Amino acid sequence: MNNLFSLEGKVALVTGASYGIGFSLAVALAQAGAKIVFNDINKELVDSGLREYKKLGIEAAGYVFDVTDEELVNKTVAQIELEVGIIDILVNNAGIIKRIPMHEMSAAEFRQVIDIDLNAPFIIAKAVIPSMIKKGGGKIINICSMMSELGRETVSAYAAAKGGLKMLTKNIASEYGSFNIQCNGLGPGYIATPQTAPLREEGHPFNSFIISKTPAARWGTTEDLQGPAVFLASAASDFVNGHILYVDGGILAYIGRQP
Ligand code: NAP
Ligand code: GCO
C-alpha cells in the first residue's frame, strides 16, 4: 500500500511555491520521493524558497518565470526537461486574489486575476502535456477554491477564475484521460497563509464568520493539504480523474451554525 503513494523517480513542478500552500505541497511531494521543481515570479523569492527547502533537506530546482508569460513558460519547461527531466506531476498553484466590490473593480484588475488564476494553468498544462503523453502519462493538480463552488462579496474575478479552473480541470481530464493523464483539482477551504492574512487580523469579523461556517471550527493549515496532494499526485489516484477534492473542514457540507 505504501508504494501506491510513493513518488520516487517522479519530477514535480509546483508553481508559486516559494512559500504558502505551494511550498507546503512541494515539501509533501518531496517527502513522498519526488524531485521538486518550483518557480516564482522573481529571483529573490526563488532564492528564498531554495533556502527554505534546503533547511528541510530538500534539493529543489528553482526557476524564475511569470506563469502568464506563455513564451517564457514554454522555454522554461523545455529547460526543465533538459536539466531535471520530464515533468510527471504539475501542480498549478500560483494565484492571486483581489478583494474589490465588483462595481469598483476595473476590467484590467479583473483580467489580471483571470490571467494568473485561469489562463496560466491552461498555459502550463498545455506546455507539459505533450511530454506526459510521450512518457505514457502524468498528473495535473489544479489548486481550486471554495470559490470554485460559491461566491461572496468582493471576489468576483477570483470566483470566476476558480470556477473556470474547475471546468478546465474537468476538460483536461476528459481530453487526456486516454493518455493516462489524470487531471484533478484540490480545493482548499480557508487556509492560514499570507493570502488570507488580511481576513485573520485580530477582531476581523471574517475570522469568527469562517469559524462559524466550518464544522471543524478552525482555519485550515497548509499541512492539512499535504496528504490529499500526495494522493492526487500518486498511483493511488490513477482512476480518479476530473474530480475536485475539497479539503475544507466541511464548509461546503454545512449550512452554518444557528445564531
Ligand atoms: P500566496 O500566499 O499569495 O502565494 C501565492 C504564490 O503564487 C506566491 O508565491 C506568489 O508570488 C505566486 N504568484 C503569484 N502570481 C504569480 C505569477 N504571475 N507568476 C508566478 N508566481 C506567482 O497564496 P496561497 O494562499 O499560498 O495560495 C496558493 C494557491 O492556493 C492560490 O492559487 C490560491 O488561490 C489558492 N487557495 C488559497 C486558499 C487560502 O485560503 N489561502 C484557499 C483556496 C485556494 P508573489 O509573492 O510574487 O505574489
Ligand atoms: C476570500 C479568501 C478565499 C480563500 C480561498 C477559499 O477572500 O474569500 O481569500 O477566497 O482564498 O479561495 O477557498
- Residue 190: active-site member: no
Q: Give, for all 259 residues of the chain, the pLDDT tens digit.
A: 779 999 999 999 999 999 999 999 999 999 999 999 999 999 999 999 999 999 999 999 999 999 999 999 999 999 999 999 999 999 999 999 999 999 999 999 999 999 999 999 999 999 999 999 999 999 999 999 999 999 999 999 999 999 999 999 999 999 999 999 999 999 999 999 988 998 888 888 998 899 999 999 999 999 999 999 999 999 999 999 999 999 999 999 999 888 7
| H-helix segments, the chain | 20-31, 43-55, 70-83, 107-114, 120-135, 156-176, 205-213, 226-233
* Beta-bridge partners for 252: none
Ligand 2 contact, 145 CB (< 6 A): yes
Of ligand 1's atoms, which has the minimum distance to the CA of residue 94? Answer: 7
Query: Could you tell me if 76 and 66 are in contact, meaning their C-beta atoms sit under 8 angstroms apart?
Result: no
Q: Which CATH architecture has domain 11-190+224-250?
A: 3-Layer(aba) Sandwich (3.40)
d(CA 110, CA 255): 29
Q: Is 196 in the pocket of ligand 1 (CB under 6 A)?
A: yes
DSSP 202: T
Regarding the beta carbon of 18 and ligand 1, being less than 6 Å apart is answered yes
250: left (phi over 0), alpha (psi -120 to 50) or beta: left
Alpha-carbon span 75 to 200, nearest angstrom: 39
Give the count of beta carbons closer than 10 Å to the beta carbon of residue 238: 12
3-state secondary structure of 59: coil
Cβ neighbours of residue 191 under 8 Å, at least 6 residues apart?
Answer: 21, 219, 220, 221, 222, 224, 225
* Per annotation, catalytic residue among 53, 63, 158, 176: 158
Which protein residue has the closest C-alpha to ligand 1 atom 33? 95
The pLDDT of residue 163 is 98
Closest-lying ligand to the alpha carbon of 193?
1
pLDDT at position 256 is 86
Could you tell me the residue ranges of all domains in the chain?
11-190+224-250
Other CB atoms within 10 A of residue 183 CB? 28
Q: What is the pLDDT of residue 54?
A: 98
Query: 164 by DSSP, 3-state: which?
Result: helix
3-state helix, strand, coil in the chain (%, to 5): 55, 15, 35
Which helix (H) or strand (E) segment holds residue 39: the answer is strand 35-40
The ligand with the least distance to the CA atom of 113 is 1
- Sequence-distant (6+) residues with CB within 8 A of 221 are 191, 192
Helices 20-31 + 226-233 axis angle, to 10: 60
Which grid cell sits at 101? 466590490
Which is the closest atom of ligand 1 to the Cα of 23? Answer: 26
Cα(95) to centroid of ligand 1, in Å? Answer: 4
User: Does 233 contact ligand 1 (Cβ within 6 A)?
Assistant: no
Q: Is the CB of 161 under 6 A from ligand 2?
A: no
Name the grid cell of 100. 474589490
Cα-based angle 73, 106, 171 (whole degrees, multiple of 5):
45
pTM: 0.97
Q: Distance between CA 239 and CA 17 in Å, rounded?
A: 27
